[in-house]
Structure 1
Amino acid sequence: MDTLQFGQIRLTWLSGGVTNLDGGAMFGVVPKPLWERKYECNEKNQIELRTDPILIQWDGKNILIESGIGKGKLTDKQKRNFGVVEESHLEEDLLALGLKPEDIDIVLMTHLHFDHACGLTKLVNGKYVSVFPKARIIASSIEWNEMKNPNIRSINTYWKENWQAIETQVETFENDWELGPIKLIHTGGHSDGHSILLLEDGQETIIHMADLMPTHAHKPALWVMAYDDYPMNSIKAKQDWIPYGLSKNAWFIFYHDAIYRAVKWDEQGTITDSIIRHK
């Protein structure tokens, strides 16, 4: 498992599953000859995307960023449509670290689309139950409200199977949520309730842009997904937060990137440091 030690914080990437989605949808209006130089696609024009939760261990707490795509929840049709070639091994990875799902104290959800939230619940004896029964599950109030009341567009990604069993565990926030050096900040953009994650410990900074920057190739402010509900808000948030991260020499970390776990860029956009995903 790939790790990043960050002051008193340790980050570990867990195996949450693998999808392959249409590259054109993932890069929106960006022409393929441009984005294909940055991120490979297969013969079906699909790009590989991880859905790997990140375990934060700090101050005796076990905190997850996202939950993966779960195991045994997707139909064969869904697996085919989403290009799923691997389901979650999150519980096995936790066991290898000496942990159980019951040891997770907090789950931080940048948003609640199926590829981030399927891992929150699982089927046991024909009934959905919480995977992390003792955890506080944190999401923006806007995101949680849309999860429970999706519109005609978002109903395809906000599923009742992912929220009904964990409803009593959910805690919502308006603008931001903070615990020590860990901060969730509402941005909107990809979804109306989308948030990013900021970790600041002393002089060090980590930014998780979530689906505003799902891969390192999405660094340009205008390179936003066709999946974004509010693309101009995505662009504005990237214009605000990417320069902030660059000014702090921050690590940018990823949930979806199949190549990098974390990247540092200089002001010219050159990668100066990176953690390449261990295969």
Structure 2
Amino acid sequence: MKVETLQIGRAKLTWLNGGVTHLDGGAMFGVVPKPLWSKKYPVNDKNQIELRTDPILLQLDGKNILIDSGIGINKLTEKQKRNFGVREESNVVGSLESLNLTVNDIGIILMTHLHYDHACGLTETLEEGYQSVFPHADIYVSQIEWDEMRNPNIRSINSYWEMNWKPIVKQIVPFEEEIEILPGLSMIHTGGHSDGHSIIRFTDGEYTFTHMADLMPTHAHQSALWVLAYDDYPIDSVHQKEKWMEVCYKEKSWITFYHDAYYRAIKFDEHGEKLNHVERNR
């Protein structure tokens, strides 16, 4: 299968196969009425929309970097697979092999947040217990997110799983509000979707991309007011989304997607009209 790639200045982005879920469209669009959101994103007869969980391989300055990790393999029960509409699990290893890489070549992982659909790919099952999939990687995540991952509240306990964090404790590099990973590449804490949610920004002169993560999980979530019922702090999502979408429009920044089943990346003009895009091969 042909992989989708995008060169943005010094950065090369390649989308890997992290698996797929099908979640309730109403939950994914919150208070937005179905007649509105269903015009922008296809929905099946169970009111579910297709959502990829595809990590992005970012190759920059000789480093192999992953943005999030997919839903993993053999991490979900049969009941969870039914509930989450999982029809395909991760094949990140196979995707990397097609690029002549292995999990040992990944030196940095940028975790926008640690919900199961982003973090299950970090660890794998053994006969007894779990181990890290990417043993040589430094794993960056906001301190707030890392704290909640280990001590979830009554609402978030269903999204933060012990098997996804215990094997990687020694690899975690937490940060407070913002951190520069490499020249021009930064993670910025936003909150909103989760208390510790972060976005990723890359700037190389006129070349930029912004990974909005679950503030804008699909192209259909372009409006600042279209936020998820899953968001722990939806008003924060609205404010952060409004702020960063304005930046993206002004810069004509590429916006990249982890969940979108139809687009890998879109570039908008200063008026929010689509200038360019990379479609997902279906």
Q: TM-score, normalised by structure 2?
A: 0.98
Match of 1:203 in 2: 206
Which position in structure 2 is the counterpart of 1:82?
Answer: 84
Offset of 1:131 from its aligned partner? 0.2
Deviations 1:28-75 (A, max 9, x none): 000000000000100000000000000011111000000000011110
- After superposition, give the CA deviation of every residue in 1:214-233 in whole Å (9 maximum; x if it has no partner): 00100100000000000000
Answering whether residue 226 of structure 2 is matched by residue 223 of structure 1, we say yes
Q: What is the rounded CA distance, in whole Å, between the counterparts of 2:130 and 2:247 in structure 1?
A: 41
Counterpart in the other structure of 1:268:
271
Q: Give the match's secondary structure for 1:5.
A: strand
What is the CA distance between 1:180 and its match in structure 2? 1.2
Residue aligning to 1:133: 135
Q: Which residue of structure 2 lines up, in the alignment, with residue 188 of structure 1?
A: 191
Report if aligned partners of 2:249, 2:272 keep a CA contact under 8 Å in 1: no
The letter of the residue matching 1:273 is: N
Pair 1:258-2:271 in alignment: no
- In structure 2, how many angstroms separate the alpha carbons of the residues matched to 1:207 and 1:151? 29
Q: Which amino acid aligns with 2:240?
A: A
Shift of 1:4: 0.3
Letter in 1 for 2:124: K
CA distance in 1, matches of 2:267, 2:9: 16
Instruction: Name the count of aligned residue pairs.
Output: 279
| Local SS of the residue matching 1:243 | helix
Per-residue CA deviation, residues 218-267 of structure 1 (Å, 9 max, x unaligned), is 01000000000000000010111001011001100000000000001223
CA separation in 2, counterparts of 1:146 and 1:276? 35
Equivalent positions of 1:50-89 (< 5 A) are 50-89=52-91
Identical pairs, percent: 61
The Cα offsets for residues 97-134 of structure 1, whole Å up to 9 and x where unpaired, read as 11110110000000000000000000122220000000
| 1:191 aligned counterpart, secondary structure | coil
**Alignment match, 2:146:** 144
**Deviates most, 44-53 or 173-182:** 173-182
Shift of 1:204: 1.1
* Offset at residue 9 of structure 1 (A): 1.1
Aligned with 1:47: secondary structure?
strand
SS of match in other structure, 1:229: coil
Please give the secondary structure, in 1, of the residue aligned with 2:244: helix
Alpha-carbon separation, structure 2, partners of 1:268 and 1:193: 30
**RMSD over equivalenced CA pairs, Å:** 0.7
Q: Separation in 1 of the partners of 2:184 and 2:258?
A: 20
Give, as a single letter, the amino acid of the residue that structure 1 aligns with 2:150.
K
Distance 2:272 2:141 in 1: 31
- The letter for the 1-side match of 2:15 is W
SS in structure 1 of the partner of residue 85 of structure 2: coil
Match among 211, 214, 220 for residue 217 of structure 2: 214
Which of 4, 10, 22 aligns to 1:8? It is 10
TM-superposition CA deviations, 1:181-239 (whole Å, max 9, x none): 21000000000000000010111110110000000100100000000000000001011
Find runs of 4+ consecutive structure 1 residues off by over 4 angstroms. Answer: none
CA distance in structure 1 between the aligned counterparts of 2:62 and 2:273, rounded to whole angstroms: 36
Structure 2 unaligned blocks of 5 or more: none
Aligned to 2:159: 157
User: What residue number does 1:241 align with?
Assistant: 244
Unpaired runs of 5+ residues, structure 1, are none
Deviation at 1:80?
Answer: 0.3
